[in-house]
Amino acid sequence: MLKKTGISQPLISRCEKGFENSKASTWQALAIFFGVSIEYLKGELTYDDLTPEGKKLCSDLVGRINDVINDELKYSELSSEENKRAIKLALQSSLTYYA
């Protein structure tokens, strides 16, 4: 790996374990080597990292989630603040479950 990226294996291992606050050049070299974005390497997947099929799925899911939330809010007897907290908690829980 050192020959192809200029990055030592111990440094890569530390990055993988989250122990290394690496320089931008290190992340860039790894991103180029693997053909992915720096955000992807850091576990910060962005919309631009998705395939066209993934982007369509993402848009469809956002639409469905918005529809469900709007339907629930229409008939909710909770305050606006309680609704926001409940929605935030539900979304966080689902992210934890599917991550």
Task: State the pTM of this model.
Answer: 0.49
At 53 the pLDDT is 92
Q: Which residue has the tokens 């070299």?
A: 29
37 near 47, Cβ under 8 Å? Answer: no
**40 and 77 assigned to the same domain:** no
What is the rounded distance in angstroms from the CA atom of residue 87 to the CA atom of residue 72? 10
At 3 the pLDDT is 63
Expressed as residue numbers, the domain containing 87 is 50-98
**63 and 37 assigned to the same domain:** no
pLDDT in tens, 1-25: 556 677 777 777 776 676 656 677 7
The number of distinct structural domains making up the chain is: 2
**30 and 67 assigned to the same domain:** no
At 90 the pLDDT is 86
At 56 the pLDDT is 93
pLDDT in tens, 13-71: 776 676 656 677 778 888 888 888 888 777 787 788 788 998 999 899 889 988 888 88
Query: What b/e sequence results for 16-54 when a residue is b if at least 16 CB atoms lie within 10 Å of its CB, and e otherwise?
Result: eeeeeebeeebbebbbeeeeeeeeebeeeeeeeeeeeee
**41 and 66 assigned to the same domain:** no
11 near 2, Cβ under 8 Å? Answer: no
Closest residue by Cα to residue 2 from 43, 35, 33: 33
**60 and 42 assigned to the same domain:** no
